[in-house]
A and B are shown apart, each in its own frame.
Chain A
Amino acid sequence: MAEGVSVVAESLAGGGARVARSVLGQVVLPGEELLLPEQEDAEGPGGAGERPLSLNAGACSRVRVICGPGLRRCGDRLLVTKCGRLRHKEPGGGGGGGGGVYWVDSQQKRYVPVKGDHVIGIVTAKSGDIFKVDVGGSEPASLSYLSFEGATKRNRPNVQVGDLIYGQFVVANKDMEPEMVCIDSCGRANGMGVIGQDGLLFKVTLGLIRKLLAPDCEIIQEVGKLYPLEIVFGMNGRIWVKAKTIQQTLILANILEACEHMTSDQRKQIFSRLAES
């Protein structure tokens, strides 16, 4: 096993910490410590061991590293908090001199609200001027009736209990009630708002949602060729889909659910079979 060898090598060099670069795409476990490229230099053969990051930053060119989900900064150490595969994205400017975004791609079903995420929620209560919206998190999000496009004090949006809302988080902090809005910064709906009364809502894992929302996801393109459809993906693992008939909607829902654990070859087979029928 190649991983085993690298583990042994790194544990000798960095006292248990692994170099983030070398484990990209590999499985990391909670509690593991990672070394970023600049720390790597400091703690290499010539380094003085435990040197804080700030001292080193002045010496070489400063790079900006963003820790995504599953990683946490703890002093000058970088710890893994979720089990999954380590991913990395180069910064937008290119260059490749380190930096960029690191995150852990993990498999889970429970959603934790994150600021800026687009989610599908279900209205559970109307109280005064706010709606309580269930998003699958630990507590319901609040949604003001003024945060819809064109809503004023006089002109209230028509939202009933049990309706589906597609919105965006503007406040999502730890231990605080998250807050949703259905408008963007310009006050436009931009696709958000109340979702129509028909169609089917179903739940999938968060990993599948991320896969489907990837810019060049072939599943969505294939599905789009099958039937004309309307579809909404919420980052909280909910998908709303609507096709012309109930039958088609059901087929689409089952395909999307099933394609999580299929290889691309299997998917192609399924889609070609469906296209024939």
Chain B
Amino acid sequence: MIKSFRYLLREGIKNIWSNRTMSLASVGVLVSCLLLTGAAVLFSMNISAAMKTVEGTNSVRVYMQQGLPVLSSVKAGEEIKKLDNIASCKFVPKDRAIENVMGMLGEKDANLLAGMTGKDNPLPDAYQVSFRDLSKYKDTVSKILKITGVGSVNDYSDIAAKLTKLDHMVTTGGFWVILLLSLVSLFIISNTIRATMFSRRLEINIMKSVGATNWFVRVPFIVEGVVIGLISGVLSSLLLQLLYGRLVGTLTSITLFSPIPMGGIAVPLTAAFLAAGSLFGAVGGMISIGKYLKKEGGDIVDW
């Protein structure tokens, strides 16, 4: 059995080479399918990570109304502290806020804001407020908004909702695109293998005449499919890692958002790609040879 298997394995690999144009087309389609799937998964993972970061910051900034006297701000602060679910409430005077902004801009650009200190400071006073229980987030925010003197609260729940919506869109859209591409890949793979099969009709015919079982006829074609799948899996994994690496580099340099690094997911991603690729290949191979053996009759000698 093992001897036969080694022989059949070699035959399967030979098939790919003798039918290389179609094999290449199969690899191409399967790689694009896997790449898109991988991209959608990575996108989804990043959105989840981003949402966790947003949710993890259990603090909000409460801005006072523009031009509110300091005394009123302090009074509003006292009221905030009185609410339950408040862990801490730290006053951020507008003078410090403008200093922070100037610090972020760097020395050169900070001069632009030089005339905006003191009395001309356009920023309002604020409080950095953190919550004890995040599940009461919305409730607490609405209570804070009712306090006199409070102008606005920068509310992260809105961003979280938008991210969830985006994630849903990508998941649903991705699902259909991937489904369609999967069908296309299966079609192309099974046609590639059917092409090899027709070029090996005589061999199959002789095999049947000397008493080959249907499994013996099938195995090389399944091997062909699996090898095409494995090659596609490796290629798409490498490509995705390369592209994602580039993207992460660019994103980190231009935005504050830091995408999840490839390092941790490279191995499971490659494994999933290899598994998916070989599964597709095997199924593609089985479809075509199954059809052939059924249609032509598994027992044709053709006298």
A and B together in one complex: no
Chain A residues near B (Cβ < 8 Å): none
